[in-house]
Chains A and B, each alone.
Chain A
Amino acid sequence: MTDALLDVRGLKKYFETSHGLLHAVDDVSFSIERGKTLGLVGESGCGKSTTGRAILRLIEPTAGEVLFEGVDVVKLGSGAMRKMRKNMQIIFQDPFSSLDPRKTINQIIAEPIKENRIITDKVALEKRVLELMETVGLAERLINTYPHELDGGRRQRIGIARALAMEPKFIICDEPVSALDVSIQAQILNLLKQLQERLGLTYIFITHDLSVVNHFSDDIAVMYLGQIVEKASAEEHFNNPLHPYTKALLSAIPIPDLRNKRQRITLKGEITSPVNLPDACRFAKRCNECVEQCTKGIPPLKEISKGHFVACFKY
């Protein structure tokens, strides 16, 4: 791949629990080109958020490399990492708990700028905060309000303004619209898209909502129990899904259209525990197309056609 901004190789994050080793992220590799969006999709517990956090080293990865413009982020010392984080920001899922309730919008947005000593002059700082507020569509009069006075959509805009304050190249959006109503969700998605075009941002978009991710991403990686099971362009992903899990996931979305009814594949059972995993395809237990081979080893992620990777013995 040519101009890759971020290249993740063999990323692993294990947690020790009293029952054994929990494989939250297990050998995940992908790269994202500058200015593009990678959608990271999966159900609760599949490791998508942990992957995002491990990339930013908000939690330390167990193993693997995270190359940001060729620099391995994992190996950086704390001072260098601090500088690096200016380039890599995150927007959290819950705009209700991710903002300090005792700070005004002004303080919340100014904090990272002050902390990194980018602007020290008070007047210039306020000007910058107002500029950021305008960028994300927050009215100037709200500058001295507190988060509890605002609705979810506006709060999420604060989270975005704060992420943009460092003029990052790359933002991880961790379920940024899951807590919002559809009409507000659409406003925030449009805003994120406009910002990407204007500022040339690169996104990882983490979500469980496949219709949102389809709308938003260039490439999509589907995760199941800590591993990527399929990766393809968004178009390929929706028109030609290959992995049995991806097919089931896509068919499970209820479609708000009476004319486009699809046959639903209902999966049996539920996601298994990520603790002490056997050496087998992790989806085998729920898979409708499972054969003997599936219980005997982990299928590798193979390129089936250009840019389309699948981890399934069928292919």
Chain B
Amino acid sequence: MTIKNDDYIFDIEGLNVRYETEDGTVYAVNGLDLKLGYKKTLGLVGETGAGKTTTALAMLRLVPSPPGVVDCKKLEICGQDIRALSAQKLEEVRGKDISMIFQDPMTALNPVFRVVDQIAESLEIHEHLSRSDAQEKAKELLEMVGISRSRANEFAHQFSGGMKQRVVIAIALACNPKLIIADEPTTALDVTIQAQVLDLMKDLKEKHDTSMIMITHDLGIVAEVCDEVAVMYTGRVVEQGTLEDIFERTMHPYTEGLFNSLPNIADRQAMLKPIRGLMPDPTEQPKGCPFASRCDYASPECESEHPVLRYVSDTHKVACSAYDRQPDFLLERRKTR
């Protein structure tokens, strides 16, 4: 079967990002392959330092250099080779084809510009609208995200956290992007406001046929909004698949560890089963599996063999060599499901 590139909104192969600092080289992303079909939402899951945000920045060529060094075999988004774009062309892609929603709405907005102008800015640049048309469209966008147009001339500090994030979403959606990268968009918000913002994002995504990457550490959010999930650890994807693959047919011990760390609402008495130890130092490149030292299933081979991310079904990929050695290997979580 031949797969055409335009079947995917983005297609990344062999992405490496390292930060060369005075204290040594930090290997942030290591040989990452990732692609996503049109109109889908991918949840990019992992803990602090897993390389989620760096991956997103690398996709937009926003990794600061120095200290960042990026190399990549393939980086195609919306059918364009992002690596080959000129600076000017890149400006056109950012905000128009691909837009980003940042984690912290408190700092993502400019405090000295009216919110309406911040939304209109990208419309004037990308859609070449006149100033008054852009302002009008910006007000429509504000209404779309549930903010009255009467507040358009206010400044960011006059808005609450949830409203600021709505403004950021309005900016991201202004030019009908094909791909939205949302980096922990609700982490800074309260749960009831988070629920509002997630509902809004889901609605808008469906209405505009947008594809989305949802970067989060919260598996609950993933279950609610994503179609596919990629679990990252030490700059690598360790498991990827559909929502059902990851939640119901969990294969990687790290993914299982994440689930076991979560308090279970249904069973209060259950003791949490945290993953022991800590993430390895990102300045060192482990020889074997990077998760081996924390893994309950690890065998001596895991310390030396580097696991390869390989398909176990049409949709499900896992990087764990236990499955190569033992075809009937099954995680504890799977036994109860």
A residues contacting the other copy or chain, number (CB 8 A): 40
- Whether, in the assembled complex, B261 has its beta carbon less than 8 Å from a beta carbon of chain A, the answer is yes
Task: Please name all residues of chain A whose beta carbon is closer than 8 Å to the beta carbon of B191 when the two chains form the complex.
Answer: 43, 208, 210, 249, 252-253
Given the known interface contacts A181-B47, A183-B47, A248-B192, the answer about A256 and B219 at a Cβ–Cβ threshold of 8 Å is: yes
- Whether, in the assembled complex, A266 has its beta carbon less than 8 Å from a beta carbon of chain B, the answer is yes
Given the known interface contacts A43-B190, A181-B47, A212-B263, the answer about A254 and B221 at a Cβ–Cβ threshold of 8 Å is: yes
Which residue of B192, B266, B273 contacts A252 across the interface (Cβ within 8 Å)?
Answer: B192
User: Which A residue sits closest to B186, measured CB to CB?
Assistant: A254
**A162-203 CB contact bits vs B (8 Å, 1 = yes)?**
000000000000000000011111110110010000000000
Which residue of B265, B272, B278 contacts A255 across the interface (Cβ within 8 Å)?
Answer: B265
- Whether, in the assembled complex, A234 has its beta carbon less than 8 Å from a beta carbon of chain B, the answer is yes
Binds A, one of B54-62, B98-106, B194-202, B309-317: B194-202
Interface residues of B in 166-222 (CB under 8 A from A): 190-196, 198-199, 217-222
User: Which B residue sits closest to A43, measured CB to CB?
Assistant: B190
Interface residues of A in 248-276 (CB under 8 A from B): 248-249, 251-258, 260, 264, 266-267, 270-271
A190 touches B272 (CB 8 A): yes
- Whether, in the assembled complex, B271 has its beta carbon less than 8 Å from a beta carbon of chain A, the answer is yes
- Whether, in the assembled complex, B268 has its beta carbon less than 8 Å from a beta carbon of chain A, the answer is yes
- Whether, in the assembled complex, B248 has its beta carbon less than 8 Å from a beta carbon of chain A, the answer is yes
B278 touches A151 (CB 8 A): yes
- Whether, in the assembled complex, A14 has its beta carbon less than 8 Å from a beta carbon of chain B, the answer is no
Q: How far is the CA of A186 from the CA of B270 in the complex (A)?
A: 12
User: Which B residue sits closest to A152, measured CB to CB?
Assistant: B48
Task: Please name all residues of chain A whose beta carbon is closer than 8 Å to the beta carbon of B268 when the two chains form the complex.
Answer: 214-215, 234-235, 238
- Whether, in the assembled complex, A211 has its beta carbon less than 8 Å from a beta carbon of chain B, the answer is yes
B223 touches A255 (CB 8 A): yes
B217 touches A189 (CB 8 A): no
- Whether, in the assembled complex, A153 has its beta carbon less than 8 Å from a beta carbon of chain B, the answer is yes
- Whether, in the assembled complex, B244 has its beta carbon less than 8 Å from a beta carbon of chain A, the answer is yes
Task: Please name all residues of chain A whose beta carbon is closer than 8 Å to the beta carbon of B275 when the two chains form the complex.
Answer: 183, 186
- Whether, in the assembled complex, A44 has its beta carbon less than 8 Å from a beta carbon of chain B, the answer is yes
Task: Please name all residues of chain A whose beta carbon is closer than 8 Å to the beta carbon of B195 when the two chains form the complex.
Answer: 251-252, 254, 264, 266-267
Q: How far is the CA of A255 from the CA of B194 in the complex (A)?
A: 13
Which residue of B196, B198, B263, B278 contacts A214 across the interface (Cβ within 8 Å)?
Answer: B263
- Whether, in the assembled complex, B51 has its beta carbon less than 8 Å from a beta carbon of chain A, the answer is no
Given the known interface contacts A182-B217, A187-B274, A212-B263, the answer about A254 and B248 at a Cβ–Cβ threshold of 8 Å is: no
Chain B min CB distance to A254 (Å): 3
Given the known interface contacts A43-B191, A211-B262, A252-B192, the answer about A183 and B274 at a Cβ–Cβ threshold of 8 Å is: yes
Which residue of A190, A251, A270 contacts B193 across the interface (Cβ within 8 Å)?
Answer: A270
Task: Output the residue of A183, A186, A187, A252 with the most chain B CB within 10 A.
Answer: A183
B192 touches A183 (CB 8 A): no
Q: How far is the CA of A270 from the CA of B196 in the complex (A)?
A: 10
User: Which A residue sits closest to B223, measured CB to CB?
Assistant: A256
Task: Please name all residues of chain A whose beta carbon is closer than 8 Å to the beta carbon of B47 when the two chains form the complex.
Answer: 181-183
User: Which B residue sits closest to A217, measured CB to CB?
Assistant: B268
B259 touches A267 (CB 8 A): no
Q: How far is the CA of A144 from the CA of B228 in the complex (A)?
A: 46
- Whether, in the assembled complex, B160 has its beta carbon less than 8 Å from a beta carbon of chain A, the answer is yes
Given the known interface contacts A183-B275, A215-B272, A270-B163, the answer about A252 and B194 at a Cβ–Cβ threshold of 8 Å is: yes
- Whether, in the assembled complex, B13 has its beta carbon less than 8 Å from a beta carbon of chain A, the answer is no
B193 touches A255 (CB 8 A): no
Chain A min CB distance to B26 (Å): 15
Chain B min CB distance to A23 (Å): 18
A190 touches B274 (CB 8 A): yes
Chain B min CB distance to A240 (Å): 14
Task: Please name all residues of chain A whose beta carbon is closer than 8 Å to the beta carbon of B261 when the two chains form the complex.
Answer: 182-183, 185-186
User: Which A residue sits closest to B161, measured CB to CB?
Assistant: A44
Task: Please name all residues of chain B whose beta carbon is closer than 8 Å to the beta carbon of A185 when the two chains form the complex.
Answer: 261, 274
B48 touches A257 (CB 8 A): no
Q: How far is the CA of A153 from the CA of B220 in the complex (A)?
A: 22
Interface residues of A in 200-256 (CB under 8 A from B): 208, 210-212, 214-216, 234-235, 238, 248-249, 251-256
Q: How far is the CA of A274 from the CA of B274 in the complex (A)?
A: 39
Q: What are 15 contact pairs spanning A and B, CB under 8 A?
A: A43-B190, A185-B261, A190-B271, A190-B272, A210-B191, A211-B262, A249-B191, A253-B220, A254-B224, A256-B262, A266-B195, A267-B192, A267-B196, A270-B163, A271-B190
B residues engaging A (CB < 8 A)?
47-48, 160-163, 190-196, 198-199, 217-224, 243-244, 247-248, 257-266, 268, 271-276, 278
Closest 6 CB pairs of A and B: A254-B220, A186-B274, A215-B263, A256-B219, A43-B190, A186-B261
